């Protein structure tokens, strides 16, 4: 078990634990937890806030999931599941029991921040079994292009430690819940509420991401933010959109409308990192789709535009691909459950 860096230290600890789901299947998880009485409520990260309550712990699968008898599990030495739609993946995670869910966008972004706080650059399988930027980094490649879970080097852990979450960069793109494009408009589920419910397309809980500047009358939070495709690039704008599909390196993304800089909400949602102007990872958007759900982290063949920040918002929730997988996560309200797991770790 290891404490987080001083930069993000807010009474948050992490440990590698094994959790049995309701089907009795073991799951290798990274648990982030806060001991009651050791933190201030205002310092609690969004990832611990589910439906207005502060969770004792958030647990994220250490490995991209495989599926056993219809139940997704986080186990080493497995081939990750593929070709499952968004709703099918989310429903499978719920079958694991109370608190289990498809990993959320808030959880993915939290891991990226934790890596940055630890000074670790997440790498992974972006070149058919090895890392495109460092070919010496490789896992056990079972089919010529993807690697078995648990065979990744420590550099492929989110924080560079054995207790970390592996496979966020490369190997398989991964589905996350709580973020989408709705006809180009960036929308999200606040805090980590997507961990509690699988929100459908028409659910009123979806919130429009807006600029921070004062908005027009009736828009107290500013103008809606869009991802669009214009002139062969992805465009972030608060103005009119052309409607279409495209992708580019994040560093080549263009700002349009009245935007002179990236609004903070875009960084908070992990759509663009703070250093996006130096980021080679790719971003894709389709502003013509009624709804586009996210794929994160790039795949095994993304040699030139791969990275943990890579983001695809150009596929409907019903679309399936052999290069896309997912992982389950779990929230715990009860501190005793946390101490029980720590006692067995």
Q: Does the pLDDT at position 66 exceed 80?
A: yes
Residue 172 has phi, psi (to 5 degrees) of: -125, 140
Indicate the pLDDT class of residue 155, thresholds 50, 70 and 90. very high
Element (H, E) at 255: strand 254-256
Q: Mean pLDDT over residues 127-148, rounded?
A: 96
State the Cα–Cα distance between residues 125 and 154, nearest whole angstrom: 12
Q: Does the pLDDT at position 10 exceed 80?
A: no
- The model's pTM: 0.95
Could you count the other beta carbons within 10 Å of the beta carbon of residue 47? 26
- For the chain, the C-alpha Rg in angstroms (whole number) is 19
The domain ranges of the chain are: 182-320
The predicted structure's pLDDT at residue 36: 86
Which of 234, 237, 214, 243 has the alpha carbon at shortest distance from 225? 237
Report whether 193 contacts 178 (CB < 8 A).
yes
Q: Mean pLDDT over residues 6-34, rounded?
A: 88
The predicted structure's pLDDT at residue 3: 45
The predicted structure's pLDDT at residue 199: 96
**pLDDT tens digits for range 269-287:** 999 999 999 999 999 999 9
Q: Mean pLDDT over residues 148-177, rounded?
A: 98
Q: Mean pLDDT over residues 235-249, rounded?
A: 95
- Round the average pLDDT of the chain to a whole number and report it: 94
Q: What is the DSSP string of 191-233?
A: TTGGGT----TT-TT-EE-B-SS--STT-TT-PBPEEEEETTE
Indicate the pLDDT class of residue 219, thresholds 50, 70 and 90. low
State the Cα–Cα distance between residues 122 and 166, nearest whole angstrom: 9
Q: Mean pLDDT over residues 71-100, rounded?
A: 98
Could you count the other beta carbons within 10 Å of the beta carbon of residue 231? 8
Q: Mean pLDDT over residues 120-140, rounded?
A: 97
């Amino acid at each position: 078990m290891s404490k987080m860096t001083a930069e993000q230290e807010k009474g948050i600890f992490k440990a590698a634990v094994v959790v049995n789901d309701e089907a009795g299947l073991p799951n290798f998880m990274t648990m982030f937890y806060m001991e009651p009485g050791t933190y201030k409520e205002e310092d609690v990260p969004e990832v611990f806030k589910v439906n207005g309550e502060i969770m004792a712990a958030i647990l994220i699968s250490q490995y991209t999931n495989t599926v056993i008898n219809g139940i997704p599990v986080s186990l080493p030495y497995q081939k990750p599941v593929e070709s499952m739609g968004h709703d099918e993946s989310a429903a499978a995670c719920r079958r694991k029991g109370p608190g289990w869910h498809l990993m959320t966008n808030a959880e993915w972004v939290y891991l990226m921040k934790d890596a940055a706080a630890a000074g670790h650059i997440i790498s992974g399988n972006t070149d058919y079994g090895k890392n495109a930027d460092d070919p010496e980094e490789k896992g056990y490649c079972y089919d010529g292009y993807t690697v078995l879970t648990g065979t990744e080097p420590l550099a492929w852990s989110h924080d560079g430690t054995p207790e970390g979450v592996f496979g966020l960069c490369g190997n398989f793109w991964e589905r996350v819940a709580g973020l989408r494009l709705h006809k180009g408009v960036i929308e999200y589920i606040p805090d980590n509420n997507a961990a509690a419910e699988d929100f459908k397309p028409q659910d009123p809980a979806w919130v429009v991401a807006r600029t921070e500047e004062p908005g027009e009358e009736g828009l107290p939070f500013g103008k809606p933010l869009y991802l669009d495709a214009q002139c062969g690039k992805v465009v972030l704008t608060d103005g009119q959109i052309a409607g279409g599909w495209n992708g580019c390196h994040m560093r080549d993304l263009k700002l349009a409308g009245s935007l002179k800089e990236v609004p903070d909400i875009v960084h908070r949602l992990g759509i663009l990192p703070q250093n996006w102007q130096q980021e080679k990872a790719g971003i894709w958007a389709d502003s013509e789709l009624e709804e586009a759900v996210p794929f994160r982290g790039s795949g095994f063949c993304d040699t030139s535009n791969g990275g943990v920040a890579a983001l695809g918002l150009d596929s409907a929730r019903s679309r399936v691909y052999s290069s896309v997988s997912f992982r389950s996560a779990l929230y715990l309200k009860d501190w005793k459950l946390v101490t029980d797991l720590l006692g067995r770790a």
